[in-house]
Amino acid sequence: MAKVDFNSAVSVARENVKTLVPSAENLTLEEALISQDGKMYEVTFSYDLDRDNPLRFGIAPDNISRLASLMGRRREYKVFLVDAHTGEFRGFRKYKEQ
């Protein structure tokens, strides 16, 4: 049985998103579940990231660069892992659709 509740696990995961991805905006909780063996919370967050503007880095403007800068932001999805017994952050991985 888990000693850490869902709210605590989500809080730990949220704090680590903010620490590891400081440029993340529009942070949204997508999913929170406990692993089948009860050892790990898997907390999925999505967030927006600005795309790098190649013109800012002195790269010659071409049509592809202009198009990329027009597209603006991208949405990222990551699964953050929190130990269900200690509440310790254990890492994150890319979200995979099932």
Domains of the chain, by residue range, sit at: 6-94
pLDDT at residue 91 greater than cutoff 90: yes
Fold of domain 6-94: Nuclear Transport Factor 2; Chain: A, (3.10.450)
DSSP character for 23? T
pLDDT at residue 92 greater than cutoff 80: yes
48 - beta bridge partners? 25, 75
Which pLDDT score is estimated for 77?
96
Which pLDDT score is estimated for 25?
93
Could you count the other beta carbons within 10 Å of the beta carbon of residue 71?
A: 8
Rg of the chain over all Cα atoms, to the nearest angstrom: 17
Give the residue, 1 or 42, on which the prediction is more confident.
42
- Strand-strand pairing, 73-83 and 40-50: antiparallel
Q: How far apart are CA 23 and CA 40, in angstroms?
A: 26
Weakest-pLDDT range from 16-20, 28-32, 51-55, 83-87: 51-55
**Can you read off the two tokens belonging to residue 49?**
């990231």
